[in-house]
Structure 1
Amino acid sequence: MNTEIVVKEYHGVYQPQVMDLILQIQQDEYHIPISRSDQPDLLDIENFYQKNKGNFWVALHHDQVVGTVALLDIENNQAALRKMFVAKDYRGKIFKTAAFLLNTAIDWARKRKIQGIYLGTTLQFKAAHRFYEKNGFQSILLEDLPPKFPVMKVDKKFYKYTVQK
């Protein structure tokens, strides 16, 4: 089995696969009542994420999108980690997709002198909580988020990662 995952910067050709992957995980796997229309950022990734110090990446296996991650520039050398999703069959130690995506985002942040990466997630994503904590994210309260952090209605748990030089 070829386990090679390639992480690339997002290009519009991946938009349908990105939307399908994220909605499938949110709706089918975790039964989160969120729709395409609740996520207008996914319809305009280039203008929403790929500006200033932000970016969006896809993880590919044989040109199929199997994971995503984004950094949204929220000013003051801070970024929000968004849209971290990995297809079920590509999670874990065999493919290491989530680790590749997260490391890509952190390396990007470091090179752009981003000091803190913040994220919000749902209470249902227990495995994601463990993953973030294992990778140096510290749990924080809602009131500890930067003023420009975009809290989603489904976000109930928050984290901060301090980017080291």
Structure 2
Amino acid sequence: MYTVNLTIAPVFNDDCTEIIDLILPIQQIEFNVPITIEAQPDLLDIEANYHHRGGNFWGAKIDGELVGTIALINTGHNACALRKMFVKKDFRGKGYGVAQKLLETLLAYCKEHNITDVYLGTVDMLKAAHRFYEKNNFNNIPVTDLPSYFPRMMADNKFYHLHLGI
């Protein structure tokens, strides 16, 4: 682990531009996912789409620079959808531990709010993300095993579930 000044805290609407500037290049340039900001209006109003619905949206900063995000949509039913997990390329891996700390923050929130089931969707090309989720005890599930209340994104074609023993 590198010694860095990593902080993870909730982010709000005044952080939208910085969040979009982190996420869009990762989606469009690095991974060639044909998605636009118009297809992700939740990023333009984080408070209404995450915070005001019993969820949260966190940003990871190193020395004041936003290097990662993770979000939680509270779907009710003691369940949530994990969304918007992105880490800037230069800050990925065990050296910084950004992704792991973001996930731990989300899971601690789940435990505090009696959320026992975490679902997420991703795309099949993100192999490193699949390994990360599987290492953290998420189980790959068929789309038919998703609950009806899971807010599915059109691009997603690989799904995971984690049951928390709270």
Shared fold (TM-score, shorter chain, > 0.5)? yes
2:7 and 2:61 in contact (8 A); partners too: yes
- Asked whether 1:47 is paired with 2:48, we answer yes
Name the aligned partner's letter for residue 161 of structure 1.
L
Structure 1 counterpart of 2:139: 138
Which runs of structure 2 are paired with 1:18-29 in the superposition (5 Å)? 18-29=19-30
Contact 2:13–2:44, Cα closer than 8 Å, also in 1 = no
Structure 1 contact 49–55 (Cα < 8 Å) conserved? yes
1:151-162 correspondence to structure 2 within 5 Å: 151-162=152-163
Letter paired with 2:14:
V
Give the structure 1 partner of residue 33 of structure 2: 32
State, as a whole percentage, how many aligned pairs show the same letter.
44
- How far the C-alpha of 1:102 sits from its partner, in A, is 0.3
Q: How many residues align?
A: 165
Once the two structures are superposed, what CA deviation does each residue of 1:17-64 show, in whole Å capped at 9, x if it has no partner? 100111010001000000010000000000101134311000001111
Q: 1:14 to 1:151 in 2, by over 3 A?
A: same
User: In the alignment, residue 153 of structure 2 is paired with which amino acid?
Assistant: M
Structure 1 unaligned runs (5+)?
Answer: none
CA distance, structure 2, for counterparts of residue 73 and residue 157 of structure 1: 20
1:60 aligns with 2:41: no
- 8 Å contact from structure 1 (residues 86, 98) kept in 2: yes
- Kindly indicate whether residue 87 of structure 2 is the aligned counterpart of residue 111 of structure 1: no
CA drift at 1:148: 1.2
Equivalent position of 2:91 in the other structure: 90
**Does the Cα contact within 8 Å between 1:3 and 1:94 map onto a contact in 2?**
no
Q: Hey, what does 2:123 align to over in structure 1? A: 122
- Does the CA-based 8 Å contact 1:27-1:34 persist in structure 2? yes
1:1-20 alignment, distance < 5 Å: 3-20=4-21
Counterpart-to-counterpart distance in 2, 1:4 and 1:95: 10
Task: Point out where structure 2 has 5 or more consecutive residues left out of the alignment.
Answer: none
